[in-house]
Every structure is written in structure tokens, then in C-alpha cells.
Structure 1
């Protein structure tokens, strides 16, 4: 009898009542701390979501004038718990936008956005197949709704869009060990690209964000409350993704944000600067430098003239030092375009750019040297004679070293500079300064270079100088021959001196006498003329 009475009493719910099904945590509790845990995914790496609490929304505050006695509204309400979270058992498709009246569409739109805030374990393709497909279909419907919107997005709709996008996109990347990062950069083309298993869903979310930003129904003055500095910074963090497909979408989205939200433009430029600084001076590891430079190339193209001092500092402090990292082949094409854009905007910057290139010129890396010569040609094409004259002496000293390079691609690429009409004109106008610098290297190539193509190109360049000013060319040739004769004479004297020293050392060795060197002679090189005379 007592047992029957006790069995009728309500039992205290046990902790085992909280179930973890299919990678989604669900709980009947409606406290904020519990609802925050409802969006976590078991074993999933999307632990860095910005809005971890899926709070319920009161429909009367969402869409004014909604009839909540309607059956559709009741059906929608039944899909959610009180705290707005979706247990897996209730994760079912909501009605289509076509099946509800216009007065309910905004409310349904917000419900679908909240439904898509639930995250699933995408690393396991066998889990939650039904729920994943429902979410994918819902995301596609949301994209269509945003694309075909015929009324301004309300404040609440914008808030929910940004909230859903943040939860799905913003996450922490698991970085591999960064040992041998410089070597890994050169093998990047040989490795298989990393593909995010969640990309089929991420792509739709990115498309939704892109359509939202570009939609004429999005009021930038209202949207900037939610697409704020924090949102932009977290979006920039995603550029380090190893998935190139994601970086392409990010590039387009950030560019559209830059165009629509003028108030954010200085902040975006500064944030990109900071990414470059950290990459150049700290890590030398970032997957999205090329994409960020593509965005900047478009931004630089739109700079008004005269250029602001801020933009010139960006060139000097960020873009030119980007030539330093060893992984420059990953982004050199985009960097070269940005540099050239600056010179085309303001030709007076040519001297600054060329001297910056010379500062970071590679010494032992031949492939990098070829890239530098190619970029140098693009810069020189936009250089005016006045700026060219300021930097031509250090410039052609470096080019002379390239002409003498034993690596045929370096020498060949340097000789190709004379095939450019604009550069050829600049050289002819200043041949009396340039010819004495490069002629020794040209003569050395014509006589001794092992590559036949380099020899042929050298002869052509030498002929250009000879045709431009024959008298000056002969004068320079005489000086080159005199210098060669002097060097040959000095070499023979040096060899004779060493031979005499060896003989003296051998004579002293046979007599077991020590060979003494005067401290004064050893410490004062100019005062050793007398000893040299004795040896000779």
C-alpha cells in the first residue's frame, strides 16, 4: 500500500534527462546558462561562436500587426522551446515562404534564421543526415528571400541575420605546427588544398551575407549597428582559412562591406595594415595575404588625388616591406599590382618604391630575384624621367650585378629590360651615366657567359649603346680595357708576391729558422711598402 502511494508521487528529474543527440545538446531547462550550452556541438570546432544564446523572440515585437491567433503562427511557436532553442526531436522543416501570407513572412524569416543557428558535427557525414538537409534547405530559402526582398529590412531582421551568420561562420582555426614555415611556403602548390567539410553549409551562409550586404533594401545607417568593428575584425580573422573557396567569398564580402559602409573604411584599412605588420615582423605565416592585397588593389585604384599622407605611409610601412618574407611567391602578383597602382597615381613615389625594392633585393634566391626584376620593369614603365634620374645610379649598379649573374634566368630577365620601349628611352636619355656602370658586366657576359642566349642578348644591348653614341661608347670601352689591364697587372704582381713568400718560407724551413713578421708591418698596412719592395 505504501509503495503504491510513493509511486504516485512526482519524481525528481535526474541529470541523465539531459540528452546529447546527434552532436547537438538539448535540455528542457529555460535558464540563460543552459540555453547558451544548447548551441554547442559535441566534438565540433565551431566553439568560437559570437552569439551562444538563442534567446526567444516575442512575436508581437517582431512584426507589428501579426495575428497570433492564426494557425500558422501557432505552428511556428510549437517548433521552438521557450528559450528559442531547437531540440533535435523538434528540428523539423518550417513552412515555406510561399505557404504563408505576406504578413507572416517576416516572422517566419526570423524563425528560420534562429533555426539555422543550430550547429551540427560536419566532420562525421553519418550523423544527423535529416537535420543537416533541413538546415541546408532552410538556408537556401533564406538566400532566396533576401535576394527577392521588396521592403526594407527591419532592425530586428538585421540583428538576427548578423547573429546567425556570426554563429555559423566565426570559428577558431586549428593551426598546424609552424616549424619550417618558410620551407612549407614554397611547397604550397605541391600540397593538396585543405577543404572544410562544412563548406556546403558555409557557402550558403556566405551567399546570404553577400546578398544582404549588397541588397538595396539594406539601410547602411541601420546595418552598421550590427556589421560593426567587431564583426569586421572577426571577418578578417577568417582570411587565414586554408580553404581557398572560403577566402574567395571573404574577399568579395569584405570588398562589398568596404563599398557600402563608408564609415568603416579607415578602420578596415587599419585592420588590414595590422595583419600585414604581424605577418611581416612576427609570423611570416598567413593564408590570405593574396586575397587581402587583391582587395587593396581595388581600393588603391579608387584613391583620390592628391594622395593622403596616410596612404603614402601605408605604401612605405606595409606594402614595400611585404617584399621581405620568403613566401613572397604566394602573393607577389597582387603585391606588384598594388605597388604599380601607387606609382601610376603619383609618379613622385617611383623613387621611393625603387629604393625600397633595392633595400629588400634578394642575394641568394634567384627565383625571387627574377620576380623583383619583373616588378621593377612594371614600376619603371610608370616612372617619369625626373624620378628616374634620382635613383638610376643605385638601380643600375644592382642591374649590373644581375647581368653578371651565373644564373641564366636572372641575367636574361635583366637584359630583357632593354626590350621595353619606355625603359629603353629612359636609358638612352641617361646613357652617359648608365653605360659606364653596366658596360663591364656586358663585356664579361659577351666573352665568358656559359649560356648562349645570354651572350646573344648581351651583344644586342651592347649594340644599342654603340648606336646611340659611338664616340662615348668607344671612350667607355677604352676605360674598360684600361681597368682590365690594371686588374691583370695587379693580379700578376699579387701572384708573384705570394710565390716569393712561398719561396722565402721554404728557405727558412730548410734551415729550421723561424719566419718573423714585424708587428708594425702587420698592423700598419700602408707602411709595408718597403717590405714589398724587398720582396719584388
Structure 2
């Protein structure tokens, strides 16, 4: 009975076909596969009474025979017994290693549709969670993912085009995305599946696989980067042995971006993944994690494109501060080091991030950096760009920051007061002037005696400055007078002693 039952299914391919390398043979015969003729709709309808023969004819026409191993891969999973489903799974994976050209939508439409159907069946099979994957199935899965996903992106020529500045902000969408999306869904289901044995899977989802997966984050298609973000997070969570390597590899991407290329499309997505990673760090933080903050995250503020990932970067940084509050001073010193001097829009971003960081900063850490921080805020208050000056003044709307300033007003007010006075006298923007007066009033009510002392000290400094400038002016007048008198005494080529000129100046 068992032999009669199995005889209803198509025969297996030859032994030589079964023993050949499915990935290499399928990938090396892409051109032949796409170039083979195929039965069209009319011939398929004619063979509808012989489904097994029609499927076998199509598989041999579309895909090389070396791809089809064991059970006929175009059969449905429901048409084979449970003990043969793993073999069918492997056969379908090998079949899907054939890669098509999606830049031309009219090229090989039938073959592409067959592959899409096979991918959908694989997705349904993995989602069903039927039994644990064998090592051969895991290896075949990783080969299929590599064949379809791992690729070299073409160079981006838009940056050198003559178009407007907004051309680079427009995302590029991959024409193969409807096909790639199914492969990414497969990979995500595969990694998250309870049928995947972690001990066996880590041998195939290895360092080389992870590196090539990280390379895909440079894709210009935001949909692909979003899928990669989820997949990387699942890999980090499932394969604990690979966590140090992933952190190191991502650090290297950040280093290359900051110090070499300043071009990468996936920095925001990588930071979003690491926001969750940092929140899961155990306390006390390892020195390796603190080094990642100092050497990789803080220098990311240096880039001129920081606005594209500032939100994710700020989240990562504040997660570190919540873990260890003594890192707040380290982060703020890093911000001051990379503070923009000629880019007002970037300065606005830094002020917003600074306020968020100060929200998580305690008194001890604030006291470590309050002097250089006050000098920088003072410069922002006097910025001729009214938005920068206004944003700096709005820091006093933050109750936590006002509390920190109030308890350290003896140090901060003497630094900030001259900037406030210059604004009230000279700033051109009425809104900045109004907010400046409100901040002055706040300081006056906070400590009137200190406020008057700062006012008196500023008046003395201005008097000294005026006296110094007058002395300098008179010195230049004497120099010019002495030089003119010496010039009158010079006739012809008569030399003039320097000592006599110096005597006249004195």
C-alpha cells in the first residue's frame, strides 16, 4: 500500500542532479534559466487534465534540472506527506535561488510569477511551524536569502546632478521590491521561528552573513531599510553569541561614516535598533558600552546630515544617561566639542537635544559642565539668527533646568548676565528682546542682590573697556604723530636711527 501511495507522486530526479550544489548551479545558470522557452497559457490549458506532467514540464523549462532535487519543487505542501515536507521545503528553496532581472517588467513574467508563488508557499510553510528545521534546511534557507538579498548597490549619481538640493531627499524605490519583500518576510519568519534551533542556526547565520546583511542598510529604498531594522533586532535577540560582533560591526559603520565617507542611508535605522539594545544593557555598564558612547555615538553629531537621524541618536544617548547618570557630563562635553559655529539650523537641533539631555541630568553632573555650558548658551543668546537666540532663551521655560540654574546662580548668572544685557540694548528682533527681558526679570526675582552685583560689575567692566579703548586710540595717535615728524626730517637717503624714533615716541 505504501509503495502504491508514493507512486502517485512524480519521480525524483537523477542521483547526479541530487548531489550537485543547488546554489552554485542555480546561480550560474540564471541566464540560461531566463532564456529558456516556456509553455504559454494555451499549452497550459491543454495540459490541465495532467497536472503532474504540466508542472514537471514547466519546472524543467523555467529552472535548470540541477535545481530540482528530491521531491518535485512545484508541488504544494498539502500534496505530500509530512515526512516529505522538509525535502519539498529544501527543493523550493533551491528553486528560489534563481535570480531574475526586475528592471524590465516585461522580461520573464511567467518565471517571476512561478518564483513568487514558490516564495509565498515557503512563507506559509514557515509560518505554520511544522516541526524543527533540519541543518540541511537551515543551510538551504541561508543560501536562498544570500542569493536574493545580498547584492552590490549601484552608485548614486544624483548627488552630482544639476538638479535642486531637494533631489537627494527623494527616496529611490527598488523595482524588485514586491519580490524582495517576500524574501525579507521569509527571513524574518525564519529567524523568529521556534522551529529554528539556535545552536545549529548560528553556524549558518554567521559573521559573514551578518556583515553582508549590515551592508544592505545602505539601500536607498526606505522600505528595505525598515525590514532590515526588524530583522537585525531579531538576530541580535536570538543569537546571543553574535551580539559583541554585531556591536563592533555597527561601530565600524559609524566610524567609517563619521571619519571617512559621511554618506550612508541607514544610520537612522541602525540607531533605532541600538536604542532598544542600549535599554537592555545590564548595570553596571561595561567599559565596552561606554566606549561605544564616546567613540561612536557622540561623534555622530559631527556630520552635516545629523538632522536625518538626530531623533534616534538623542534617544540612544538619553538611554545611556538613564542607565548611568554620571555619563551626562560626558555627553554634554561631546556636544560642546562638536557645537556648530556657522550652521544655524544645526545649532537649533543641538539646543533641542541639549534640553532633552539636561532633563535627565542631576545636580552633580550639571555642576561639572555648567561653566563651559553657560558660555556656550551665552553665545547663542547673542546670535544674530533670531531663532537660535529665541530657542536658547526658551531653555528657561524648563522647570528642571531653572532649578539647576537657581541652585548654581552664583556661578551662572555672572556668565549669562552680559549676554542678556547686550540683547536688551542691541538685538534687532523684538521677540528676542521681549523674552530676554522676561529672563532678566526672572534672575532679578531669583536673587536681587546678586543681580545688582552683576549689573554693577558689568558697568565697571564697560568703564574699563572704554578707558582701555581710549588709551589704545591715544597710543595710535602718538605713533602717527611721531611717524609724521620723523618723515619730515628724512631727506634723500639719510638713514634714521630706530633708537631716536623710539625716543620721540616715548
Q: TM-score range by the shorter chain?
A: 0.7 to 0.9
Equivalent residue for 1:165?
Answer: 145
Give distance in 1, aligned partners of 2:133 and 2:189. Answer: 12
Match for residue 409 of structure 1? 387
Number of residue pairs aligned between Structure 1 and Structure 2: 467
1:148-159 → structure 2 map (5 Å cutoff): 148-159=128-139
Describe the shift of the 1:110–1:266 C-alpha distance in structure 2 as closer, same or farther (beyond 3 A): same
**Residue matched to 1:525:** none
Match of 1:390 in 2: 368
Distance of 1:106 and 1:463 partners within structure 2:
77
8 Å contact from structure 1 (residues 41, 121) kept in 2: no
In the TM superposition, what are the counterparts of 1:288-327 in structure 2 within 5 Å?
A: 288-327=266-305
* Displacement after TM superposition at 1:450 (Å): 0.7
Q: Does 1:282 align with 2:260?
A: yes
Match of 1:134 in 2: 114
Match of 2:66 in 1: 84
Cα distance change of structure 1 residues 308 and 518 upon mapping to structure 2, 3 Å threshold: farther
Structure 1 position 282, deviation (Å)? 1.3
> Which residue of 96, 99, 102 corresponds with 1:119?
99
Decide which of 461, 472, 486 is 2:464's aligned counterpart.
Answer: 486
Query: Which of 85, 88, 93 pairs up with 1:108?
Result: 88
The within-5 A match list for 1:425-464 is 425-464=403-442
Mark the CA change 1:287 to 1:192 in structure 2 (over 3 Å): closer, same or farther: same
- The question of whether the paired residues in 2 share the 8 Å contact of 1:505 and 1:515 is answered with no
Flag the 1:72–1:156 CA change in 2: closer, same or farther, 3 A: farther
Contact (CA 8 Å) 2:26, 2:64: kept in 1 or not? no
Check the 8 A contact 1:508/1:515 in 2, yes or no: no
> Does the residue aligned with 1:127 lie in a helix, a strand or coil?
coil
The SS at the match of 1:224 is helix
C-alpha displacement of 1:99: 3.0
CA distance in 1, matches of 2:133, 2:166: 43
Q: Quick check: 1:239 aligned with 2:217? A: yes
* Corresponding residue number in structure 2 for 1:39: 27
Following superposition, the deviation at residue 518 of structure 1 comes to 7.9
Q: Could you tell me how far apart the structure 2 residues matched to 1:395 and 1:117 are?
A: 57
Q: Give the number of the structure whose residues are more often helix, by fraction.
A: 2
**CA displacement at 1:494 relative to structure 2:** 3.0
Conserved 8 A contact 1:116-1:138: yes
Helix, strand or coil: the match of 1:305? coil
Deviation at 1:505, TM superposition (A): 5.3
The 4+ residue runs of structure 1 with deviation greater than 4 A are 28-35, 40-43, 71-83, 177-181, 186-190, 499-522
Please report the TM-score for the alignment, with normalisation by the length of structure 2: 0.84
Partner of 1:51: none
Aligned CA distance change for structure 1 residues 520 and 439 (closer, same or farther; 3 Å): farther
1:395 CA displacement: 1.0
The residue number in structure 1 matching 2:74 is: 94
Gaps of 5+ in 1: 1-27, 44-70, 87-91, 523-527
1:336 aligns with 2:324: no
| Cα distance, 1:304 vs structure 2 | 0.9
**In 2 relative to 1, CA 96–240 (structure 1 residues): closer, same or farther, beyond 3 Å?**
same
Instruction: Verify the 8 A CA contact 2:23 2:143 in the aligned structure 1.
Output: no
1:471 correspondence with 2:449: yes
> In 2 relative to 1, CA 507–226 (structure 1 residues): closer, same or farther, beyond 3 Å?
same
Q: CA RMSD for the aligned pairs?
A: 3.4
The 3-state SS of whatever aligns with 1:299 is helix
- Secondary structure of residue in 1 paired with 2:195: coil
Q: Normalised by the size of structure 1, how large is the TM-score?
A: 0.79
How far residue 103 of structure 1 moved from its aligned partner, in angstroms, is 3.2
Which residue in 2 is equivalent to 1:53? none
After TM superposition, give the deviation of residue 96 of structure 1 in Å: 2.1
* 1-structure distance, mates of 2:499, 2:285: 61
- Whether the 8 Å CA contact 1:30–1:82 is kept in 2: the answer is no
Separation of aligned partners in 2, 1:350 and 1:249: 33
